[in-house]
Structures are given as C-alpha cells and as structure tokens.
Amino acid sequence: MDTPELERHFEEGWRSTKKSCLGRVERDDQRTIRSCRSFEELKETVIEDTDARDRSEGALHELSLINPRLVGLRNFSYHFTDKLGPRLDPAVFWGLLRLVLNLALQFDDGDPMRRVAQMIKKLSRQAESFQDQCSNGSTFTRKEKEACFEIFVGMTEFFTKTVLFLRDSEDALQVPFRTGDGPWLAFGPTFDNAVHEIEESLEGLEKLAAMNQMRAQDNVSWLYSYLTLGSRPDEADVPCNMTPPTKNSRFFDRDDVIDDIDKHYQKKDLGPFRSLALYGMAGVGKTHIAMKYAQKKYSKRELNAVLWVAAETAMSIKQSFTEISLRLKLPNATAKSHDDNHLLVRSWLQHTKTKWLIVFDNADDPDILLPYWPNSASRGQAIITTRNHSLAYEPADAGLEVASWDTETGSKYILHLLSGYISADLLANQHQSAFALSERLSGHALALSNMAGVIHRRSWTIKELVDFIDSHPDFKDGLSAMWQLSFGNLQEHSAAILSVVSFCNPDSIPQMLFEPDDPSQLPADMQWCTDMESLSKAIEELQIIALIRRDRDTRQLAVHRLIQTHFRQFMSENERQAAFARASALLYAAFPRRDATKAQMFDVWERCSLWVQHVIALKDGFKQERKRLPTFRGCREFCELLVTCQRFILEQHAFPELADMVQVNEIALSTLDPADQTYDLLSSLPSHLGQMQARLGKSREALDSATKSRAIRLRDPEAEPREVAWAEHNIAQVLTTFGPLDEALEWHQLGLGTWKAWASSQQGNVDGGAAQIVTAPPVMKTGLGRCLVFMGRLEEARPYLESAYSDLMDTKPLNWAMAASARYAIGRLEMRATNYDVAEARFMEAQSLWLKGDKARTDHFNGACMYRMACCALDLGKTEAAIKHLHDAMIVTLIHKEYMAGEHARCLYKLSQALFQEPGREAESRQLLREAEELYFSLAGDANQNPSEEDYDSLVYCLWR
C-alpha cells in the first residue's frame, strides 16, 4: 500500500470512528465534545479552571498529577496528525477526554477521578513507549503509521466507553468504593481490553521485536540503572588503554590484516556497534594483530578506551569485566562482585559517547562469550580472536582468517627478529637459510619466534640451526623439532618454572606464586626460589627464548597456550606428575584460607579473586591429564586447594563451576593414598555440595549431602569439634529452609551445644586465656534465632538475634556480611510481630550494611532486602514505594534467574498484590499472578492450586526468606 492509498485508508477509518463514538453518547455530551478541539482548550477549561468550586480536594490533587501525562498524549497526537496525513483532525479525541475528566470530577469522594487518572497514566505511558520504539527519522515506516493509527483509535473508543460507563453508573459511584466490589470491577475488563489491543499494536513494530530479542538474549544490563545512584554514562576515567602489558614489541608485518580491519569498520551499511572475528590456528599471531590495531588507533586518538577481555573461560571473562570496571573507575564498581561489574560495563558500553574498542581474546566458546557481548544499541567496536571460525558469523558481523605466513614473509620475520642479535653483514648472507627455516616451520609465527630465541641463546647462525634440524631424523616434522629444541636444553630451574605455569591460567600469573611469605611452603624441589638471583635467571632464560613474557611493572608472567600444551606433551609421565604436584603446592600456599571461627570467606574475597582462575586452570589440567592417562594421580595439596576454593566459589554463587570442581575433587581424592584421604577432605565435598543444593531448592539432595558430611566427620577419632558443629549447623540450615522446623531447631541447638562444649574445654589452654575463644559463633546464634522466628516463637528468638548482631558489630574488622544478615533476621522478627515500620527500618539498615561492605547491588541478599522492604511498605499502605522496591528486587532475580526462580516467583506474586491496589492496573496484576503461579507449579508441583505468600516463601533459601 503506497502513501496516498494508506492516507485514504486512515481518513476513512478515522471518519468512521468519529461517527461511531459521537453516535453513542447523549446530545448534550456531543455538544461538550465538539466544544473542545485541542489539548490547549482542554488544559484551559479543565486543568486551569480556577472557578470550579465544587471539586473535591482529592480530585483536584489527582488532576494535578496527570498534567504531565496529558502532555505525553499531546505529543502522541502530534504524530497522528503530522505523520499519518494532513486531513486527520484529533478534535474528537480531546473533546472526549475533556468530557471524561469533567464527569470524574463531579464525584465528592475523589475515587472516580483517581481511577480515571490511573487509566490515563497507563495509556500515556503506552503512547510514550510507541514514541520510544519508533525510528528517529522525519517519517514513519508503514508499520509505525499503522500502529500509531490503531493506538489512537483504540484510545478514542476507550474514552467513549468510559463516558458511557460514568453516565450509566452515576448513582452507584456515589457510594465509596471498596476493594473487590462496586461498578469499577465490572468496568475493569473494558480497560484491560483497550490496553491489550494497544500492546498488540506495539508488539507489531520491528523495533519492539528487536528489543524483545535483545531481552531474550539475557541482555539485562540496561536494567542496572534502576539499582545504581544515577551516575552519568560518561562518568569514567578515560583515556584508558588495557592492552596486555606483556605485549610482543617485535611485531612484524600484518599491515594488510590491519588495513582489512580498518576497511571493515568503515563500512557504511553497519550499525553503530561493529565487530569482527580474527580466526585461525593457534600461534599465528591473532592476539598480536588485535594489539597492534588497538595500539595504532589509540595512539592516533581515534579510540579513547581499549578494553581487554581474557575470554577463554567464564571465570576469566568475569574477572576481566571486573578489571575493566575498576580501571574505568565506574561508579559503584567493586572488586568483590563480578555480576555488578558485568552490568556496569555493559551499561557503560551502551550509553557512553566515548570511542571504545573491546577485544575478546581467545574466545572459542560462544556460550561463554554471548552473555558478555555488547548489544546492538552500543556505539563502539569489538574484536574476537579465536580458533573457532563460526564466531565470525555469530555474534561478530564478519571474520578475517589469519593464516601462517608464506615462506618468503616468514623468512623476513626471522631475519627481523635476529637483527638485534646478529651483525648485519652476517645476516646479509642468511636469506637462503632463513627461507629454508621458514619453509620447515610452515611460516608459523610463534615457532619462528621461539627459534629466534634458540639461535640467540646458542649463538648459532640460521644455517647452523637448519643443518642441526636436517641432521636429526627425529626432527623431520619442523614444528616438533622447534619444540624439542626450545625445551630440550632448558636449565633445571627454568624447566621447573615452565612446568608450573603450564598448569596455570596462561595470562596474569603473579610472580609472587614463587615467592610465598613463608619459604617453608615451597616444595622441596623449589626451595631454590628463595634465592632471588636464581629465580631471576630462570625467568630470564625463558624470556630469551620467547617461552614466557614478563611485565616488570606488574611482576606478572604470561605464556602462550600452545607452549603450555606442547611443554606438557614434551614432559614424561613422571615429569608431568611432578609438575602438577609443584603447581598444586604453590597455589595451595597462595590461596587464602577460611578462618576456622568463621563460616564464610567474605573478608578475603579480593585475594581469592587473584588466584581463582589459576586454580580452575589447574583443575582443568588434571581433567586433561586423566583423559590422556587414567593412572594420573592427584595430590593432597591439590585436594585441599580445591576444598578451599570451593567455599569461595559457593559464596560467589558460581554453581556450575562449583559442581564441576566438587566432581573433579572426588576423582582426585580417590587417587590418594588412604593416609591422605583425611576425614576433613572427605567431609568437605558433600558439605559444599549440600549448601549449593539447598540454595537451588533441592531439598532431599541437600539434606542427604549435609547428613553425609557430618557422618564422615564423626567417624574421625580425632574429629575437630568446631567442624562437627558447622556440619550440624548446615543440617539445621537445610531443615530451616525445607522443614520440619522442630527438627531444624534441634539441630541448631545441637550445633551450638557442640561448639560451646569445645569452647568450655579450651578455657585457659590458649595464650591470653578465654578472651581468645569464641564461645558461640554469631552465625550460629543468628541461625537459631531465625528458625525460632519462622516458628513464631518471637520472644525466644530476640535475645539470640540481638546478641549475634551486637557481637558482629563489635568484631574488628567488621564482618559486614554476617552483621547485615543478623539485622535482616531481626527485621523478619519485627515483621512477624506486625511492627512493620520498625521492620522496614531494620531491612534498610541491613541493606546499608551490605552495600557499605560489598557494594554488590545484584547479590541475592540485596534483592532479599528490597523484597522485604516492599512487603513492609505494602503493609503500611505505601503502595508506590512497594512497587518500586519490588521492581528493584526483580532486577536481581532476573539477572540470576537460573538459580533464583523461587525468589522471582514470590516477587511476581507480591507485585501482583501491590498492583491490584492501584486503580487501572488490575490487568497487570492478574497477568503477574498467572506468571507467579506457573513458576510456582513448575518448582513445587501442582498439588497446591492456590499458593499463599508462605508457600512462595518456602521456595526461598532460609538466609533470604
């Protein structure tokens, strides 16, 4: 349908609508409608009518509140007349709206005006949604014009039906409205249908479809602004260059690839966000090309921010986004919350005007990459370096293959690398040998770089190296020869260093891994590391032959993944076993431990983050070695390390990583000698597994795991009473979550009793006396008090909770997380006592404590605080505040929807209750209730057809209930 024909269609449709609407109202009302022809006249005769003496105070208040919404409708009517055709006159629309407002204002109690105002607000918001979703050009697309017409007609017809309703129900509306009855309940479906029809028109727009697709891809970073303090999108520390410090300063050639990257980003048919995948086999120089391009653009000030993401694993990406947020100094960035930082960075990328490039280095798994991929509304550039060419099609716009050099270019590269080590006269006669070497190594950039190091170290010529390769029948494969030459003559200390880093994450390996505070923690065959000169020489040798890189400012090492793989293959079975044991011992010494008097590791999260990706790499290395050689064994330090790391990962709610780590640890434990299979190790695995299962709502599995953990500890003839007490506390927490509560109480009392018995036995046995003994951990007292609250035994619970909170606030340094949890439990007590104003204050205090200590707005606990603040606000009659808190809480549950389904269900249920109290939002309320029930039934089954608020609470782990 072309433009003239479409305009005729709109004219005929609008003419029919006006005739129908005017024909259904009384003659006097027709005259009123015709007397108002514009927004300005409506404003003058209704909004600004100072002579109206008979209006109630409540009605006038509601009228003043909808004035901004009427402006939104005025803007929408401009689109109707300007974009759809010159002969469309919106006068009937404004006349009907004026009549609706006058009729609503005539009632004394103000309730009809309040309800009409709510409906107008909703319609105005939908009109604004339409405008937000339309193209920014001077003309509308056909679909946008059709949607605009359908919405305008729908509103006009709804105003007509509202006039008829107000006229027909005039007597009934004089009676004050009561929730759940009255004529408004009968009129609700009319408004619901009008809203539904408008929503259907909105959903037909391409822009809305694109937005829905973006949301379906878990792109919720735009929601984060609701949880922040409203920082400006450009509030960041730029310029910022995050290209890795361990870069290769001997970059050579590849100018053609750099030019191709430039050409791609200059294409006119691409959107504001442009991306490219550099793909090819390992070691051909993809990362260095990305570095070179980024440095070139940054030095020319064509980019203000170069952001670098180590994209090999989920954990490395999380940590990279945290580093980005901290380097940019984004408001609310914190070293302790990867989830917050992820959303902060995504939001900044989308809204900033800064010219940025983000590089996802070594991204081979699309499932890991996609949640961190900038959305299409962002304005910047992205590069992926990958061995997976499919990433060139999704998510990148296109791809460039980076191949090995041809023989001629490879020969020039080797000459370039040696130009600083061999005299120019000698090099001038080495072209033929360089060509031969390049041919044998297939132009492979990393191989040629390593051979340049060998030549330099041995003071050879290129020809001597080629002759050496040719004279050894085992070196027929050029690449295999390269690795044997690189590794075969390493000094013992250098080989030991390389053996350890081959089991670490290849990027950002702190040199202090080899420099523990307590030298006795070094393995016996690594004691030489205490001598700084010996350590420096070992690292220097590895640098000379290009096997590792070191940054002097950060004192961090880096190694290519290909070198890691081939060095582990180069080592014998016994050497790999020894290397694994070295890496395990060193990482075990470096990784922070949990204090035996504390249940959590919150105070060492930041230090844990420094090492966790190396622990994960070591765990993955063990899996690879077991696959290659089923007899490959773990060691006690490895199992102890994983147990410690498991606790940290549990607190990070990284449940897939935790499940994998526990599974690997079980395998490793089974390979240990019986003497090394300690009860502590054997008990810790089901303990962590059970705590994860409880958080995921798996009641039976959680109780079985927790019970198994305690049973193992009790088999130990030298069982540590404090650890037994924690095991009993874990059982109590599971039962507090899933019931029965009387059994939970017994376990809480048993755990606290076990601890107190131990504390009593230690009186005077520690230097400084009893002052150093924790007689009752505050966490256990909080747990017992929480259980009593759930049982309704409030006065018994209060002393436990207040004592726990007092103890925690007196702790130095402050245990902010557990103090916040205790304050939250006190809020639940006050809530059960119907002291809603006091409870609301306690939840706010708990949230404040949490955010001061952690700043993690997307954490489960912060979501729970906002949910409970909403419950209190609703009970206090503060509906708008409750709705705001619930929306905030639902942002948290959406971000973690994989394992916060119960929390999300109860938010939906509570929001449906809040919206039902808002006139004109009954349809939204019913829809949310349907969603809540569907989610509840999927989690709890359909035995209970009418779940209550308590039923929804039962889906939530006790700490956040």
Band (pLDDT 50/70/90 cuts) for residue 359 is very high
- The average pLDDT across 115-119 equals 87
pLDDT value of residue 424 = 60
- Distance between CA 903 and CA 861 in Å, rounded? 11
pLDDT value of residue 488 = 81
Cα angle 161-165-170, degrees, rounded to a multiple of 5: 155
240-401 maps to which CATH number?
A: 3.40.50.300
pLDDT at residue 886 greater than cutoff 50: yes
pLDDT value of residue 478 = 57
134 or 654: which leads in pLDDT: 654
- The average pLDDT across 366-377 equals 85
Task: Give pLDDT tens digits for 457-474.
Answer: 777 888 887 877 777 666
Contacts for 235-238: CB closer than 8 Å, 24+ residues apart: 235/330, 235/331, 236/305, 236/328, 236/329, 236/330, 236/348, 236/352, 236/354, 237/327, 237/328, 237/329, 238/304, 238/305, 238/328, 238/354
Tokens of residue 37, six digits? 């022809």
Cα angle 530-536-538, degrees, rounded to a multiple of 5: 95
- Distance between CA 383 and CA 274 in Å, rounded? 9
The phi-psi region of residue 85 (left if phi > 0; otherwise alpha if psi is between -120 and 50; otherwise beta) is left
SS3 assignment, position 381 = strand
Residues pairing with 558 in the sheet: 549
- Distance between CA 182 and CA 845 in Å, rounded? 41
Lowest mean pLDDT among 647-661, 757-771, 802-816, 946-960: 757-771
The crossing angle, in degrees rounded to 10, of helices 655-670 and 314-328 is: 130
- Distance between CA 494 and CA 535 in Å, rounded? 8
Q: How many CA atoms lie within 13 A of 8 on its CB side?
A: 4
Lowest mean pLDDT among 63-77, 222-236, 674-688: 222-236
- Distance between CA 572 and CA 594 in Å, rounded? 36
- Distance between CA 81 and CA 756 in Å, rounded? 79
Band (pLDDT 50/70/90 cuts) for residue 406 is confident
**Other CB atoms closer than 10 Å to residue 293's CB: what's the count?**
26
- Distance between CA 866 and CA 504 in Å, rounded? 40
Band (pLDDT 50/70/90 cuts) for residue 891 is confident
Identify the DSSP state of 502.
T
Q: SS3 breakdown of the chain: % helix, strand, coil, rounded to 5?
A: 65, 5, 30
Band (pLDDT 50/70/90 cuts) for residue 229 is very low
- Distance between CA 116 and CA 104 in Å, rounded? 7
**Other CB atoms closer than 10 Å to residue 29's CB: what's the count?**
20
**Segments of 317-411 assigned E as strands:** 356-361, 380-386, 398-401
Average pLDDT over the chain, rounded to an integer: 85
In which element (H, E) is residue 305 found? Answer: strand 305-310
Q: How many CA atoms lie within 13 A of 58 on its CB side?
A: 12
Q: 185: which residues sit within 8 A by CB, 6+ positions away?
A: none
775-960 maps to which CATH number?
A: 1.25.40.10
- The average pLDDT across 102-125 equals 84
SS3 assignment, position 510 = strand
pLDDT at residue 218 greater than cutoff 60: no
pLDDT value of residue 180 = 42
pLDDT value of residue 205 = 61
Cα angle 373-379-380, degrees, rounded to a multiple of 5: 70
Contact 492, 538 (CB under 8 A): no
Contact 616, 313 (CB under 8 A): yes
Lowest mean pLDDT among 13-17, 94-98, 773-777, 793-797: 773-777
pLDDT value of residue 211 = 35
Task: Give pLDDT tens digits for 34-54.
Answer: 998 888 888 888 887 655 556
Q: 190: which residues sit within 8 A by CB, 6+ positions away?
A: 158, 161, 162, 165
End-to-end CA distance of the chain: 57
Residues pairing with 278 in the sheet: 385, 400
Q: Which of 740, 652, 657, 737 is nearest to 697 (CA)?
A: 737
Task: Give pLDDT tens digits for 825-850.
Answer: 999 999 999 999 999 999 999 999 98
Contact 534, 493 (CB under 8 A): yes
- The average pLDDT across 641-669 equals 93
Task: Give pLDDT tens digits for 143-152.
Answer: 788 888 889 9
- The average pLDDT across 308-331 equals 91
- Distance between CA 686 and CA 678 in Å, rounded? 14
Alpha helix ranges (H) inside 204-285 = 206-216, 255-265
766 or 854: which leads in pLDDT: 854
Contact 272, 378 (CB under 8 A): yes
Q: What is the length of the chain?
A: 961
Contact 355, 305 (CB under 8 A): yes
pLDDT value of residue 631 = 94
Q: How many CA atoms lie within 13 A of 402 on its CB side?
A: 29
Contact 196, 154 (CB under 8 A): no
Band (pLDDT 50/70/90 cuts) for residue 957 is very high
Task: Give pLDDT tens digits for 265-306.
Answer: 888 777 788 999 998 887 778 898 999 999 999 999 999 999
Q: Which of 353, 97, 88 is nearest to 233 (CA)?
A: 353
Residue ranges of domains in the chain: 3-211, 240-401, 424-488, 492-677, 775-960
pLDDT at residue 185 greater than cutoff 60: yes
Indicate the residue type of 439: E
Residue with tokens 């009473």: 721
**Other CB atoms closer than 10 Å to residue 960's CB: what's the count?**
22
Identify the DSSP state of 45.
I
pLDDT at residue 896 greater than cutoff 80: yes
Q: What torsion, rounded to 10 degrees, do the Cα atoms 436, 442, 447, 448 define? A: 40
- Distance between CA 569 and CA 817 in Å, rounded? 46
Task: Give pLDDT tens digits for 710-728.
Answer: 999 999 998 889 999 999 9
